[in-house]
Amino acid sequence: MSQYIGRLGRRSPAAPPRLRLHRRPRRVAMLSVHTSPLHQPGTGDAGGMNVYIVELARRLAAINIEVEIFTRATAGGLPPSVQLAPGVLVRHVDAGPYEGLAKEELPAQLCAFTHGVMQAWAGHRPGHYDLVHSHYWLSGHVGWLAAQRWGVPLVHAMHTMAKVKNASLADGDTPEPAARVIGETQIVAAADRLIANTDEEAGELVRHYDADPAKVAVVHPGVNLERFTPGDGRAAARARLGLPQDALIPLFAGRIQPLKAPDVLLRAVAVLLDRHPELRSRILVPVVGGPSGSGLAKPEGLQKLAARLGIADVVRFRPPVDQDRLADWFRAASVLVMPSYSESFGLVAIEAQASGTPVLAARVGGLPVAVRDGRTGVLVQGHDPAAYARVLHDFAADPTLTDRMGAAAAAHARAFGWEASAAATAEVYTAALHAHRRRVRSLHG
């Protein structure tokens, strides 16, 4: 899609080379209303977006772009601000009750959140923030107002889109409300630049939301290549986690909700063991994560499903873990399984591959970019458990498949460092600043 202005840091012909001559922003106000970058990924509403914001902010600060992240306070007694890293400040904003507030109830708190952001801004000299970068549609509405009030450009990242999610709902999942669709449409029209994870997401912004292609930039998310590495190998990781050395270990890691489809993995394992009962003694299925979204309505649903399928003896449920421990789970696995119904990119797919583990995933969203089908993993069309069972059997039948694909996966992931993502994002900021100044000049003759 050559009409989009950026792609993984490589400038397309549509973007004038002279944009490089314009200055980068000195300080960015980053907005993450509904989930804090300080929260543990894998539970509640914390997930890939949290990792994205933390890693991107760190790398932007490393290239001299200071970042202040505004997020809603979810506990009493939190300090007004926390230094996350040199050049990265997290600001807690009081907006609504600290606990028990579902994401669906947050639109009613956007006014209070905006007030808190404006209070912080009022304590600074004019021109303190050069640009607003909002994440997810809730933040986009606050960013829209803040950018207009401060006279700076708005850069927005959707992360997920209501129309895309509603087009591929899991059974029993709740559709995104019309209010979100309307809100996203307004943000797309208001933003100076939109950052998409992949060419496919960029196309969805244009098709579903009538985005101006000239305002859409494609920047792939990254992976922390210092943390997610093959390390000292699969055997050592399994020893540290107390896992059997010779087992087939298909891993699910992430938020437990219908959208992520962990049930497809369990059903696939049931099919596999029905067809190949001899594998029962050498298969272990870890599910690492906590309930989230509509999964909160039935937090024990996956455990009950494992019991109904007759595979509770081979499934191990584990709570969310920190990033270093997660890297060990990736290293220990035979294959990471991601049967999601929708993924804007799928950060855990790149993290697992960087750790030397192949990925078995649904062919949806950004996963065909994250995973090289047949080389670093396997992509499955649809969500038929039998199709996933067949691939799992391939890994069981050929113990060398994990190592062969895993080596290719680690090499593939090395192209996705966060430094490249930050550099490309900085170019989007520069383009947004230039376009904004040009528009302001034209308005004032």
Q: Is 215 annotated as a binding residue?
A: no
Instruction: Tell me if 245 is assigned to a ligand binding site.
Output: no
Residue 160 annotated in ligand binding: yes
Q: Are the C-beta atoms of residues 316 and 287 closer than 8 Å to each other?
A: yes
301-319 residues labelled b (16+ CB within 10 A) or e (exposed)? bbeebbeebebeebbebbe
Known binding residue 440? Answer is no
Give the phi and the psi of residue 81 in degrees, each rounded to 5. -145, 150
Tokens of 262: 């962990």
Residue 198: exposed, middle, or buried by beta-carbon count in 10 A (0-12, 13-18, 19+)? buried
180 is in an annotated binding site: yes
Residue type present at position 75: A
Max CA distance (Å), the chain: 78
351 is in an annotated binding site: yes
Instruction: Answer yes or no: is 353 a known binding residue.
Output: no
9 labeled binding residue:
no
34 is in an annotated binding site: yes
Residue 412, SS3? Answer: helix
**50 assigned to a ligand binding site:** yes
Residue 76 assigned as binding residue: no
321 is in an annotated binding site: yes
Annotated binding residue 439: no
Residue 94 annotated as binding? Answer: no
Q: 83 has which bridge partners?
A: 89
- State yes or no: 391 annotated in a binding site: no
Cα first-last separation, the chain = 34
Residue 113, annotated as binding a ligand = no
181 annotated to bind ligand = no
The response to whether 48 counts as a known ligand-binding position is yes
**From start to end of 49-97, where are the E strands?**
66-72, 81-85, 88-93
Query: Binding site membership for 1D-myo-inositol 3-phosphate: which residues?
Result: 34, 45-50, 103, 136, 160, 180
Query: Binding site membership: which residues?
Result: 34, 40-41, 45-50, 103, 136, 160, 180, 255, 260, 321, 330-331, 333, 343, 351, 357
Query: Binding site membership for UDP-N-acetyl-alpha-D-glucosamine: which residues?
Result: 40-41, 48, 255, 260, 321, 343, 351
Query: Binding site membership for Mg(2+): which residues?
Result: 330-331, 333, 357
